[in-house]
Amino acid sequence: MFQGFNEETIAFLWGVRFNNEKGWFEQNKPSYINNVYEPIKTLGYEVFDEIRARFPEQEMLCKVSRIYRDARRLHGRGPYKDHMWFCLRRGGGDWTERPAFWFELAPEGYSYGMGFYSAKAATMERFRKELDANPRRFCAIAEGVAKLRHMTVGGEEYARRKGEPGGVLNDWYNRKHISVERSVPYDEQSFSPALKEELVESFSALMPLYQWFDEFCTRTDS
């Protein structure tokens, strides 16, 4: 059962950022296993089980990151990541262009939300056309997101705006990628089982948005 992270979790993440080499990691690997990997894996699968129970019709799996960087993509960085994450998303195919719920630990704090990060430009063009043609349902969902005062809409915006649909859609229409997220410095909740409940409630509140993008991608792919 997830009991929360701890001071050793934070210490390890800072440590690997500034000591990103095999000798340091091997010496501190027990702390990584006990204070980072096992807690975030437990948290991820407990959140997944709760979400699956609430939304049994939604096809999903839980994916927990590895700390090891791909050796082909180091680009001068060390062999280890200084952050860890899990995500809930659809399996199979090119899942990177589909929506996902995520939670991430970093040395500075934690963050979570729902992202539609890797969509190609053509996909986002179809997204804008969908909003132009059928704005009502997405407007209702976006208004619901706006009521989540602890979450913010993010994602890189185009330098040259694509249009001004007006109202609540303006915050979504001109983005290359879309996310709804919250970033938090480590707080009392970080060290408590209550973090799981925060994620479950937040992901549940964002489920209509996730389902909209999931359906949109299914229609686009068919």
Query: Is 166 a member of any domain?
Result: yes
77 Cβ neighbours under 8 A, 6+ residues apart: 20, 69
- Specify the number of domains making up the chain: 1
pLDDT at position 217, please? 86
Report DSSP state, residue 33. I
Query: Is 72 a member of any domain?
Result: yes
Instruction: Specify the CATH number for the domain of residue 174.
Output: 3.30.930.20
pLDDT at position 222, please? 52
Report DSSP state, residue 156. P
Is residue 96 within 8 A of residue 118, CB to CB? The reply is yes
* pLDDT-derived band at 83, boundaries 50, 70, 90: very high
pLDDT at position 118, please? 72
Across 6-15, average pLDDT: 98
Q: Is residue 77 scored above 90 in pLDDT?
A: no
Contacts 24+ apart (CB under 8 A), 155-161: 155/115, 155/116, 155/117, 155/179
Query: Is 1 a member of any domain?
Result: no
Q: Is residue 5 scored above 90 in pLDDT?
A: yes
Q: Which helix (H) or strand (E) holds 205?
A: helix 194-221
Outline where DSSP puts E strands in 42-177: 61-64, 84-89, 100-106, 109-116, 152-154
* pLDDT-derived band at 72, boundaries 50, 70, 90: low
Q: Is residue 135 scored above 60 in pLDDT?
A: yes
The torsion angle over the Cα atoms of residues 215, 152, 97 and 52, rounded to 10 degrees, is -60
Q: Is residue 73 scored above 70 in pLDDT?
A: no
Is residue 43 within 8 A of residue 196, CB to CB? The reply is yes
Measured CA to CA, the distance from residue 151 to residue 180 in angstroms comes to: 6
Mean pLDDT of the chain: 92
* Residue percentage of the chain with pLDDT more than 90: 80
Across 161-166, average pLDDT: 90
Measured CA to CA, the distance from residue 79 to residue 81 in angstroms comes to: 7
Measured CA to CA, the distance from residue 191 to residue 215 in angstroms comes to: 36
Q: Where are the alpha helices (DSSP H) in 20-168?
A: 22-32, 38-54, 121-133, 135-146
Least confident span in 67-76, 124-133, 169-178? 67-76
Output the six-digit token pair for 37.
């990997």
Measured CA to CA, the distance from residue 113 to residue 194 in angstroms comes to: 16
* pLDDT-derived band at 193, boundaries 50, 70, 90: very high
pLDDT at position 57, please? 94
Q: Is residue 103 scored above 90 in pLDDT?
A: yes
The whole domain housing 215 covers 7-221
Query: Is 89 a member of any domain?
Result: yes
* pLDDT-derived band at 129, boundaries 50, 70, 90: very high
pLDDT at position 80, please? 93
Distances (CA, A) of 3 to 38, 109, 183, 196, 203: 11, 17, 20, 9, 19
* pLDDT-derived band at 32, boundaries 50, 70, 90: very high
Query: Is 73 a member of any domain?
Result: yes
Across 146-165, average pLDDT: 91
CA 192 to chain centre: 20
Query: Is 43 a member of any domain?
Result: yes
* pLDDT-derived band at 49, boundaries 50, 70, 90: very high
Q: Is residue 161 scored above 60 in pLDDT?
A: yes
Query: Is 2 a member of any domain?
Result: no
